[in-house]
Amino acid sequence: MFLVLGSIAVVTLANLASLGVKIVGNLPQGLPALIVPDPNLIDINILITLAVTVFLVSYVEGYIFASEYAAKNNYKVDKNQELLALGASNVAVGLFQGLPIGGTLSRTAVADESGAKTQLAGGVSGLVLLLVLVLFTGVFYNLPQAILAAIVLYVIRRLVDIPHFRKIYNFNRIEFAVAIVTLLTVLFIGALEGIVIGVILSVLSLLKNMYNPHIAVLGRIPGTVQYLDIKRRPEAEIASHTLIVRVDGSQIFLNTENVKNTIIDLVEGEYKDTKLFVLDFEATSFIDYSGIEMLEELVDELKSRGIKVKAANVYGPLRKSIKKTRLEHEIMESKFCLTIDQCLKRWEKEEKE
């Protein structure tokens, strides 16, 4: 407050506006009148495009800021409540000739910096704004715009979290690249463009991971019934004439060919003597119809090579999906979920009979 009033006094007494210092200037005084908007004043296609654009920017930007402060102050954010508040606020603003609004970073940062803890702080600041609009707009005529910018930069400085970028870099280089590109796009092009670019890059990264899931060959850790990736645990033992594979991810239309071809390559290459193939579903949470078709083709291919196929760790919804197909009788031989160890013991028993 002292900075604002002091800068107004200096600009007024020294007539700095005449020297080129940009000031706020005239602020409309009084409250806006209630007017029902006329949608016919603008082409409906343009109106919808603008409305969707403003909604995306307002909601995504506001929710990001809300999440930042929720994490900082240890409380939860309700996405639906935020959406309801944003919609109701914009309907009210539209009836009073206002501009579209959203969660404001600058005012949130000021409130947080001032120690505000509840929504009452927003109500009080709203009443103060009403008083200023009705009685004191002239006071801010000589307020330098640079002071407003300095206040905003000061209060949001803590949101520039460099250590967070370091954590992203150490965790995943691709996600770090997405974060940097998004940040630069927001800074040099615009918030909407930055959000869109960030979402597109994130989706592409997700699709890349889904397209090429990690496929692990499993072996038993000596002295246990644990079966782990032999590349990560070289001490893991592979039983004779068996191949145990785990697909780390959902089996969907994006990756069915990759999964099938990788397994066939294993059978034709390093594991030519395979008589039992166990597919571990422990890391598979979802399978679509393309995935089911791929499994049926894989089972037929392996059976034609004289290889027995069994499924392990088929849980919940995934088991329910498989039970709707012929795979229920071909790879799931029990009403209960079989572990890898149980699959091996059943096969050994079958071989002896």
pLDDT one-digit tens code per residue, 185-203: 988 887 778 878 988 999 8
Partnered with residue 220 across adjacent β-strands are 227, 237
Judge if 137 and 46 occupy the same domain.
Answer: yes
Residue 110: enclosing H or E segment and its boundaries? helix 105-113
* 108 and 68 fall within a common domain: yes
Instruction: Give 178's Cβ-side CA count (13 Å radius).
Output: 18
* Angle separating helix axes 145-155 and 2-14, nearest 10 degrees: 160
| 167 in the same domain as 245 | no
For 183, the token pair is 């940040």
pLDDT at 290: 94
Tokens read off for 40: 């016919």
Residue 266: the pLDDT is: 96
In DSSP notation, 266-304 reads HHHTTTTT--EEEEE-TT---B-HHHHHHHHHHHHHHHH
Burial of 58 (0-12, 13-18, 19+ CB in 10 A): buried
- Residues 11, 143, single domain; the answer is yes
The model's pLDDT over 277-315, given as tens digits with 9 standing for 90+, comes to 999 999 998 999 999 999 999 999 999 999 999 999 998
Residues 185 and 217 occupy one common structural domain = no
- Please tell me whether residues 39 and 186 are part of one structural domain: no
What secondary structure letter does DSSP report for 135? I
**Same domain (yes/no): 93, 181:** no
* Tens-digit pLDDT profile for residues 139-161: 888 889 898 888 777 766 766 77
Q: Quick one: pLDDT at residue 336?
A: 66
Per-state percent for the chain, helix, strand, coil, to nearest 5: 60, 10, 30
Domain end, chosen from 185, 210, 235, is at: 210
pLDDT in tens, the chain (353 residues): 778 889 888 888 888 888 888 998 888 888 888 888 777 777 888 888 888 888 887 887 788 778 877 877 888 888 888 889 888 888 888 888 788 887 766 677 777 777 787 878 888 888 888 888 888 888 888 889 898 888 777 766 766 778 888 999 999 999 999 999 988 998 888 777 887 898 899 989 888 888 889 999 999 999 999 999 999 999 999 999 999 999 999 998 889 999 999 999 999 999 999 999 999 999 998 999 999 999 999 999 999 999 999 999 998 888 889 989 999 888 887 666 789 999 999 998 888 76
Residues 95, 167: one domain? no
Question: How many domains are there within the chain?
Answer: 3
With beta carbons less than 8 A apart as the criterion, state whether 310 and 341 touch: no
Identify the burial level of 225 via C-beta atoms within 10 angstroms of its C-beta, where 0-12 means exposed, 13-18 middle and 19 or more buried: exposed
- The domain in which residue 69 lies consists of 2-158
User: Is the domain of 45 the same as that of 170?
Assistant: no
Same domain, 197 and 222: no
87-100 residue pLDDT tens: 888 888 888 878 88
Q: What is the pLDDT of residue 221?
A: 95
> pTM value?
0.65
| 303, 338: one domain | yes
* Same-domain status, 220 and 278: yes
